[in-house]
Structure 1
């Protein structure tokens, strides 16, 4: 007979995601002993071991992995039910989780979400930055309602909805030989050293392959982890950068930098929104999805 309550399921999911009972107890604001008791009760109910415990933490057993999959689905269903009822009862309360790649967060997502949150004060939106492959994996595993990633990552059983575009550009300081250009081909940048941004590791590798295919070499002077560091190195003349125009245009002027659009066909990038099932989204998640899609600029337009 089924005797596991939703609270116990939520705590089990938290333990699996955190990899430790102590961290799960902090996340859920409950004593570790109470978490352990809840999980022990589930194991007793089913007569199976759900967690492998060690000094390094816990991992689910095969039986635990099966329960985790179903528990996540049950929690999503319960959250959707609660969300839909509260939509009618309280005028739009809900909780939406988003996984998004760094480009979308740098280029447009904060502005889109600020408008949404101002118009929907009872809906909470949590955003977590992930690399595009991890966005797809996280949504597929039920860790988020919506994901925003590169179109090149669109594979598997998820729904992928065309969303936005961005455009690569070259970033140089005002003393650089290319500073007077208004458009440029990637091949022309290979005469100069580059500054790479580590969050664009996939792009960096692609550009190196593209250069090699044309019998040239892409020389990186440095790799940095933040846009601010990249701006400073380019400003000081230590190299040029190739980044999404939408991410750098608003700040380039603050550092006295010039943004030169690339003319290569591959310089156009595309984003998609990924969901498990758009029709099964909670009302609050569906409302956010509709908001994002309604704010899409015309194809080919640079915001």
Structure 2
């Protein structure tokens, strides 16, 4: 009779795959290399298949090892969530849900939507963390997070998705800029201006560079920042224009710090989605959060509201 796979061995296997070397994995897990090697050898013997390719430059998983690596991350992620959820039951919490969201989502509707949900369900605890889209997708696939909220431009293969909210890109500029009273601008117009780059290497940055390349141009970026709030402050200081979601930049426009002009491009409207593994794998609390957030997709701001894109 085969013995069940134990969590310690799975964790060591993951460490070796990520570090590429038994010695570094052993140091990471506070063990001697011989103990790690012995466990992995016993695991391969028990399963009857090679899990690691051993080369001069280190170790890498075989095809079977890749399959185990994926499932091992899911299993350990599930065990950690179970431990956290059960410990919270002891303190009166009725459930725990981990949500990962992209910076744009956190700067717009999600905090308010979760606040409304938690006001109705005080016994559920939500852990909300900011991540870039590739990290969100990987964590949800591996079971390290229950739900992800992100722009649908990412690679979401293998995950279930539901529509959430939309936002609308605009051109942010200082209040006194000559274009501040225009009804709209084309992206090509902005390429002659110095701009502020936001979250270099992210999906938005990639989109703008791709659209500029299609026009045979390159953005002229004076400054690059990691947050939408920082971009608004730099624009207000007169250091450049920025392409930003209207919904996130509206508070700065309301305060009279910047002007927002609609971006007249077919790709200027972005769709955000809620992603998860199969709902049968989610806790009742996670399914409830998912359902309530999905209900928010059709809500609109009243006409004339600063966030109203019309």
Please report the TM-score for the alignment, with normalisation by the length of structure 2.
Answer: 0.72
Structure 1 residues 80-89 or 282-291, which shifts more? 80-89
Structure 1 residues 221-230 or 109-118, which shifts more? 109-118
Looking at structure 2, the residues matched to 53 and 21 of structure 1 have their Cα atoms a distance apart, in angstroms, of 14
Determine the structure 1 residue equivalent to 2:177: 176
1:44 to 33, 42, 67: 42
**Any idea what SS the aligned residue of 1:140 has?**
helix
Residues 123-175 of structure 1, C-alpha deviations (whole Å, 9 max, x = no match): 352524123x4543443344433222322335533222111100011111122
Determine the structure 1 residue equivalent to 2:222: 222
**Any idea what SS the aligned residue of 2:161 has?**
strand
Looking at structure 2, the residues matched to 245 and 255 of structure 1 have their Cα atoms a distance apart, in angstroms, of 14
CA distance change for structure 1 residues 265 and 64 in 2, over 3 Å: closer, same or farther? Answer: closer
Measured after TM superposition, the shift of residue 43 of structure 1 is 3.7
Q: How many residues align?
A: 291
CA distance change for structure 1 residues 125 and 24 in 2, over 3 Å: closer, same or farther? Answer: farther
Tell me, which stretches of 5 or more residues in structure 2 are unaligned? Answer: none
**Any idea what SS the aligned residue of 2:297 has?**
coil
Whether the aligned pair in 2 keeps the contact of 1:167 and 1:269 (CA below 8 Å) is: yes
Measured after TM superposition, the shift of residue 287 of structure 1 is 2.2
Looking at structure 2, the residues matched to 115 and 6 of structure 1 have their Cα atoms a distance apart, in angstroms, of 41
Looking at structure 2, the residues matched to 210 and 17 of structure 1 have their Cα atoms a distance apart, in angstroms, of 39
Measured after TM superposition, the shift of residue 179 of structure 1 is 1.7
Looking at structure 1, the residues matched to 296 and 2 of structure 2 have their Cα atoms a distance apart, in angstroms, of 45
Looking at structure 2, the residues matched to 259 and 218 of structure 1 have their Cα atoms a distance apart, in angstroms, of 22
RMSD (Å), alpha carbons: 4.0
2:31 to 30, 33, 40: 33
Residue pairs, 1:64-83, within 5 angstroms: 64-75=65-76
Looking at structure 2, the residues matched to 16 and 125 of structure 1 have their Cα atoms a distance apart, in angstroms, of 29
Residues 235-258 of structure 1, C-alpha deviations (whole Å, 9 max, x = no match): 232321111111211234557111
Whether the aligned pair in 2 keeps the contact of 1:196 and 1:220 (CA below 8 Å) is: no
Looking at structure 1, the residues matched to 87 and 284 of structure 2 have their Cα atoms a distance apart, in angstroms, of 10
Residues 40-92 of structure 1, C-alpha deviations (whole Å, 9 max, x = no match): 446425427766799x9975555543332332344466678779989999662
**Any idea what SS the aligned residue of 1:153 has?**
coil
Determine the structure 1 residue equivalent to 2:234: 233
Residues 180-218 of structure 1, C-alpha deviations (whole Å, 9 max, x = no match): 234444344345332222243113213313544xxxx46
**Which structure carries more helix by proportion?**
1
Tell me, which stretches of 5 or more residues in structure 1 are unaligned? Answer: 26-31
**Any idea what SS the aligned residue of 2:112 has?**
helix
Q: In the alignment, is residue 2 of structure 1 matched against residue 6 of structure 2?
A: no
